A and B are shown apart, each in its own frame.
Chain A
């Protein structure tokens, strides 16, 4: 095997057939290494030697990922974190498969700045591409190294030995446990994918590719310590923060003396606009916080635009117009031109548990336990905040409630660290209240999408002109200035001006590229970092709303062309994997081509497709709804989805993610919009920001996973939300004949669209 072969391969070119037809295990292993090496998470680089696959690039030593002790216990390290996506389970599966050890012998350590590789944020559905790929290669290589050591010890030929259940076994039955083979630094070697990492062949998978029950669920349903909220180091104090009533409010005065006298109060902290109380017991903190909040006098001002005219305000702001694509090509004569504008309001992450962070400052060192997505960037921010050198700060991830992006978790951790810094010694736990999370988490930005497209006489797209107007979609990493406490204290840190994230990831322009064949394509991202409301990354960033707009508009075009929505899409798709998910979805759904559009009432069907980030998971969703003509209530009947996430590690894990994404997107689509007036955000709890409840969910959700063995992991966590939202929109159109271009589809708005 040579590097030349390697370089000549193209990503994704490996089909199941070529795998099966391939020569020996070595060939397969190498070829797979190749496919994974070119995973799209590693754009840009073109070094002489092929880049290491996945996150090995940042941490190329095998023992950064895999360690085995003398008793044969395996510890796997990842810089990623579990945020409810089931990544722990999938990574354990990968390691168990490639190391040939039982799943139960593996301990997985997630992001900890003192122990694990740094992998930035757990975001963008990239955990499998990054960490999964690294662990797969590292495990395979570790296994081969151990076989080699065993061969020496046993005086046997390497080729005659095999790894099995945590031991290396010789043909004559002699056996050496991994624990006996790891002496010295045998795993302290650089990763050499393809040379020594012989990946287990897909056909031989025992653990990968099968649905393994999630490792974290049993504790979560039996009262085990599973979340940061359950972490109670000895001597821990409880803190609550009193945040301002609105953006930009200034603390004019507060009488802390009366609060200091309340039962259990250890300290009241005031620094600039930062106000917190620390107590011995938790409910004492709640009560003291309430009194402190009542004692605080703030001056507030109008900082936000009028909600009623938000979208026109948005489009009028100064903007940086970034042209994403400007393609010109031969096309048919346009005979019909359509134009439309779509709107999405601000959305919350709305984690069921408000943010929590614990920190201890002792002997000049800060330890922070946090549930945010990136321990390494958090360390940098906290080091800056409390002015310690980064090595003096350690950030350890503990699981939190579902995070879906940049929510309050980093802020709560920073709150805790700041308070702990002022009160050295005891661990300090900051638990946000519901209103803290609702009012202060960074939202997913409101967006307007304007699109114009033309059809020729054959009903084919000839041109597509698309503008997205939106705020920043990520304010990370940003350092201390991106934390609320950093912005609030007397010597405040400034949030650096946010930057758009370049394609192909994109930010507000994520998924701006229509997946369809169209010769003349003009795509512009109008980036407006005004940030009147606090914003940052929310699951999928711009993808959900761009797909909502693109796929709604494709439906409008199909209607204009007199074509069935499925047929119209298939006519414009070229990627065979895209065609497969659309066809499979339509087929399993029982799509009725040409079903009447706009009966004005009752049932409707809708379909939508996207490939997340144009480079990651493929997903199509078809939905059936029932629209009540009198009330405008949209009842969700069925959702059917097909997803292709590349090589499948845990099929049920993928199903769970796709299903969850569909249901969450249904909530966004039907209910959600952050309410605000010129001064305050009004959505302070669930009563002002309702989300989908159990009695509103689909009657059934059915997911079909297409396995593409040997192809790169594509990630799953965010791929279903765009198509799910758009499929609901299209189904409502199909049922009512009315196209609604503004989210959410509340009964009142649907009723308004339907008319009497």
Chain B
């Protein structure tokens, strides 16, 4: 039995401790966001956040996740109310088949959490653990820039609310 906190919800999953998080998300919890791409930590299709940092869920056994905060793309927003990064990807039409996209969205989320105003070089390096075969990288880079903008505006507004 693994006790996990996913997108702010406590969940108990009947899974062997060595089960990689990806299989728990997809198979036990029927969540779609994290994708199986290689199972080897090479492609990033399975990227989620663990305590706000990007992780390859295909090589993270659930046994190490007790007490950690897991965020998946389902936790960033909904189709009706997408979060800033999701919105930016939609607006830049930064997908073709879209299979890699959720992982890239999560990679972006982690990047912008760590660096509010990343340079283009930081974005390119930050995204590079994740592969896209369809050739969307340049649109994704634009989406990251747009998302950074949204996040800054959002926090500026939140800031001005306080004053």
Q: Is chain B in direct contact with chain A in the complex (CB below 8 A)?
A: yes
Is B45 touching A352 in the complex (CB atoms < 8 A)? yes
Residues of B within 8 A of A431 (CB): 36
The residue of chain B having its C-beta at the shortest distance from the C-beta of A724 within the complex is B135
A659-B39 contact given A85-B96, A213-B90, CB 8 Å threshold: no
* Interchain CB contact (< 8 A) of A214 among B95, B120, B125, B134: B95
Q: Residue A190 at the B interface, CB < 8 A?
A: no
* Interchain CB contact (< 8 A) of A663 among B28, B86, B135: B135
* Interchain CB contact (< 8 A) of A694 among B31, B77, B127: B127
Is A664 touching B82 in the complex (CB atoms < 8 A)? no
Is B35 touching A660 in the complex (CB atoms < 8 A)? no
Q: Residue A697 at the B interface, CB < 8 A?
A: yes
Is A695 touching B124 in the complex (CB atoms < 8 A)? yes
Q: Residue A229 at the B interface, CB < 8 A?
A: yes
- Shortest CB distance A242–B (Å): 15
Residues of A within 8 A of B30 (CB): 232
Q: Residue A743 at the B interface, CB < 8 A?
A: no
The residue of chain B having its C-beta at the shortest distance from the C-beta of A403 within the complex is B97
Is B101 touching A697 in the complex (CB atoms < 8 A)? no
Is B20 touching A283 in the complex (CB atoms < 8 A)? yes
Residue pairs across A and B with CB atoms within 8 Å: the count is 188
Residues of B within 8 A of A456 (CB): none
Is B74 touching A222 in the complex (CB atoms < 8 A)? yes
Q: Residue A477 at the B interface, CB < 8 A?
A: no
Is B27 touching A281 in the complex (CB atoms < 8 A)? yes
Residues of B within 8 A of A662 (CB): 135
Q: How far is the CA of A238 from the CA of B23 in the complex (A)?
A: 12
- Shortest CB distance A80–B (Å): 15
Scan residues 337-369 of chain A and give those whose CB is less than 8 A from a CB of chain B: 350-354
Is B77 touching A222 in the complex (CB atoms < 8 A)? yes
Q: How far is the CA of A694 from the CA of B101 in the complex (A)?
A: 13
- Shortest CB distance A286–B (Å): 8
Is A86 touching B96 in the complex (CB atoms < 8 A)? yes
Scan residues 36-66 of chain B and give those whose CB is less than 8 A from a CB of chain A: 36-40, 42-43, 45
Q: Residue B139 at the A interface, CB < 8 A?
A: yes
Is B141 touching A694 in the complex (CB atoms < 8 A)? yes
Q: How far is the CA of A605 from the CA of B81 in the complex (A)?
A: 44
- Shortest CB distance B43–A (Å): 6
Q: Residue B72 at the A interface, CB < 8 A?
A: yes
The residue of chain B having its C-beta at the shortest distance from the C-beta of A356 within the complex is B36
Is B35 touching A229 in the complex (CB atoms < 8 A)? yes
Residues of A within 8 A of B72 (CB): 223
Is B99 touching A223 in the complex (CB atoms < 8 A)? no
Q: Residue A465 at the B interface, CB < 8 A?
A: no
Is A695 touching B125 in the complex (CB atoms < 8 A)? yes
Query: Interface segment, A139-147, A300-308, A580-588, A684-692?
Result: A684-692
Residues of A within 8 A of B73 (CB): 221-223
Q: Residue B128 at the A interface, CB < 8 A?
A: yes
Residues of A within 8 A of B19 (CB): 283
Main SS of the interface on chain A?
Answer: loop
The residue of chain A having its C-beta at the shortest distance from the C-beta of B87 within the complex is A221
* Interchain CB contact (< 8 A) of A282 among B23, B33, B37, B135: B23
Residues of A within 8 A of B138 (CB): 659, 663, 697-698, 700-701
Residues of B in contact, count (CB < 8 Å)? 61
Scan residues 74-101 of chain B and give those whose CB is less than 8 A from a CB of chain A: 74, 76-79, 82, 86, 89-91, 93, 95-101
- Shortest CB distance A639–B (Å): 9
Q: How far is the CA of A281 from the CA of B123 in the complex (A)?
A: 37
The residue of chain A having its C-beta at the shortest distance from the C-beta of B91 within the complex is A213
Interface size on A, as a range, is 35 or more
Is B36 touching A354 in the complex (CB atoms < 8 A)? yes
Interface membership of chain B positions 118-150, coded 1 if the CB is closer than 8 angstroms to chain A and 0 otherwise: 001001110110111111111111000000000
Is A694 touching B36 in the complex (CB atoms < 8 A)? no
* Interchain CB contact (< 8 A) of A283 among B23, B77, B82: B23
Q: Residue B153 at the A interface, CB < 8 A?
A: no
Is A282 touching B27 in the complex (CB atoms < 8 A)? yes
Q: Residue A693 at the B interface, CB < 8 A?
A: yes
Is B42 touching A219 in the complex (CB atoms < 8 A)? no
Q: Residue A402 at the B interface, CB < 8 A?
A: yes
* Interchain CB contact (< 8 A) of B82 among A222, A225, A663: A222
Q: Residue B68 at the A interface, CB < 8 A?
A: no
Is A223 touching B137 in the complex (CB atoms < 8 A)? no
Residues of A within 8 A of B97 (CB): 83-84, 351-352, 399-403
A353-B37 contact given A221-B105, A283-B27, A664-B133, CB 8 Å threshold: yes
Q: Residue A260 at the B interface, CB < 8 A?
A: no
A691-B133 contact given A220-B101, A656-B96, CB 8 Å threshold: yes
Q: Residue B70 at the A interface, CB < 8 A?
A: no
Is A282 touching B26 in the complex (CB atoms < 8 A)? yes
Q: Residue B102 at the A interface, CB < 8 A?
A: yes
The residue of chain B having its C-beta at the shortest distance from the C-beta of A216 within the complex is B98
The residue of chain B having its C-beta at the shortest distance from the C-beta of A281 within the complex is B27
Q: How far is the CA of A221 from the CA of B90 in the complex (A)?
A: 8
The residue of chain A having its C-beta at the shortest distance from the C-beta of B107 within the complex is A694
Residues of B within 8 A of A225 (CB): 32
- Shortest CB distance B119–A (Å): 12
A221-B82 contact given A216-B98, A656-B93, A685-B40, CB 8 Å threshold: yes
The residue of chain A having its C-beta at the shortest distance from the C-beta of B16 within the complex is A283
Q: How far is the CA of A226 from the CA of B45 in the complex (A)?
A: 14
Q: Residue A230 at the B interface, CB < 8 A?
A: yes
The residue of chain B having its C-beta at the shortest distance from the C-beta of A650 within the complex is B93
Q: How far is the CA of A564 from the CA of B45 in the complex (A)?
A: 44
Q: How far is the CA of A696 from the CA of B125 in the complex (A)?
A: 9
Residues of B within 8 A of A229 (CB): 26, 32, 35-36
Is B133 touching A697 in the complex (CB atoms < 8 A)? no
Q: Residue A661 at the B interface, CB < 8 A?
A: yes
Is A402 touching B32 in the complex (CB atoms < 8 A)? no
Q: Residue A534 at the B interface, CB < 8 A?
A: no
Interface membership of chain A positions 687-730, coded 1 if the CB is closer than 8 angstroms to chain B and 0 otherwise: 10001111111111100000000000000000000000000000
Q: Residue A434 at the B interface, CB < 8 A?
A: yes
The residue of chain B having its C-beta at the shortest distance from the C-beta of A402 within the complex is B97
Is A351 touching B133 in the complex (CB atoms < 8 A)? yes
- Shortest CB distance B128–A (Å): 4
Residues of B within 8 A of A676 (CB): none
- Shortest CB distance A127–B (Å): 14
Is B98 touching A220 in the complex (CB atoms < 8 A)? yes
Scan residues 523-551 of chain A and give those whose CB is less than 8 A from a CB of chain B: none
Is A220 touching B36 in the complex (CB atoms < 8 A)? no
* Interchain CB contact (< 8 A) of A660 among B26, B32, B96, B99: B96
Is A230 touching B95 in the complex (CB atoms < 8 A)? no
A695-B128 contact given A353-B45, A402-B99, CB 8 Å threshold: yes
Residues of B within 8 A of A216 (CB): 98
Residues of B within 8 A of A351 (CB): 97, 99, 133
- Shortest CB distance A441–B (Å): 12
A353-B35 contact given A221-B86, A221-B89, CB 8 Å threshold: yes
Is A217 touching B89 in the complex (CB atoms < 8 A)? yes
Q: How far is the CA of A220 from the CA of B82 in the complex (A)?
A: 11
Q: How far is the CA of A431 from the CA of B125 in the complex (A)?
A: 31
Q: How far is the CA of A330 from the CA of B105 in the complex (A)?
A: 60
The residue of chain A having its C-beta at the shortest distance from the C-beta of B136 within the complex is A660
Is A352 touching B95 in the complex (CB atoms < 8 A)? no
The residue of chain A having its C-beta at the shortest distance from the C-beta of B86 within the complex is A221
A221-B95 contact given A659-B139, A694-B128, CB 8 Å threshold: yes
Is A220 touching B102 in the complex (CB atoms < 8 A)? yes
- Shortest CB distance B139–A (Å): 7
A84-B45 contact given A282-B27, A685-B38, A697-B138, CB 8 Å threshold: no
Can you name 11 A-B pairs with beta carbons within 8 Å?
A: A220-B95, A222-B79, A223-B102, A224-B79, A227-B99, A229-B35, A352-B99, A353-B36, A664-B133, A694-B130, A701-B138
Question: What 10 A-B pairs come out closest when comparing CB atoms?
Answer: A84-B97, A663-B135, A402-B97, A220-B98, A660-B135, A223-B33, A401-B99, A694-B127, A223-B74, A282-B27
- Known: A222-B79, A400-B99, A662-B135; 6 extra A-B contacts, CB below 8 A, are A222-B33, A402-B97, A656-B136, A664-B133, A685-B42, A696-B128
